[in-house]
Chain A
């Protein structure tokens, strides 16, 4: 398969600070990556589509100034939660559509669990 990594896997921060989460495609290039948020016992909700070299596309209701996305290279997208508050505590998951031959699905990172105190 294809490998997508996320860093950090777990982060605890104080209210008001900013947190950056990295998503990397390790063995393929990804011009598009997706960012999801998952609250406990709920489904994955798409937050935004990250596009390499251009602005991200945010889903309705997602604050773009709150969740900054930067897709700086073909293997790296970052999500920065700015001025985090306890309600931002969640499980954040990224995915990347595989460009490897023979694969026709998105590959998911292991997720980042954010806790804002």
Chain B
């Protein structure tokens, strides 16, 4: 069985602070994909990143960075110099195998509130 745990239910930071959202996953598969999605108040899910199980390189995209560590089954997401527009619910998700038609298993989400 696959499982994704996002232990942080809600995080509140002041603008310009850095914030890290944790994601821990469980799977018996050797080939899998990990994802992060952002869900702003409008409700539409916004794709942020995809990482396959064989690529442990960290990735940086602007103010966003991701740290994938297979040894601890974690795929954490850091926002540097947070902004009010970053306020949203962030979901980590796991997909088995390489087929895009495989199911996604979502974590419970972390609600991020960035205030001035």
Q: A-side interface residues toward B, CB under 8 Å?
A: 1, 31-32, 34, 41-44, 46, 49, 91, 93, 95, 97-99, 103-111, 113
A43 touching B91, Cβ below 8 Å: yes
User: Which chain B residue lies CB-closest to A9?
Assistant: B43
Q: A103 to nearest B CB, angstroms?
A: 8
B50 touching A105, Cβ below 8 Å: yes
Of the four ranges (under 10, 10 to 19, 20 to 34, 35 or more), the interface on chain B belongs to 20 to 34
* Distance in angstroms between the alpha carbons of A103 and B47 in the assembled complex: 12
Q: Which residues of B contact A93 (CB under 8 A)?
A: 43, 45
Query: Which residues of chain B from 78 to 116 have any CB-CB distance to chain A below 8 Å in the complex?
Result: 91, 98-101, 103-104, 106-109, 111
Q: B-side interface residues toward A, CB under 8 Å?
A: 33, 35, 37, 42-45, 47, 50, 91, 98-101, 103-104, 106-109, 111
* Distance in angstroms between the alpha carbons of A81 and B27 in the assembled complex: 33
Q: How many cross-chain pairs have Cβ atoms below 8 Å apart between A and B?
A: 52
Q: Is the interface of B mostly helix, strand, loop or mixed?
A: loop
B43 touching A110, Cβ below 8 Å: yes
Interface centre among A31, A43, A46, A103 (most CB of B within 10 A): A43
A106 touching B108, Cβ below 8 Å: no
When A43-B91, A97-B101 are in contact, do A113 and B43 touch as well, CB less than 8 Å? yes
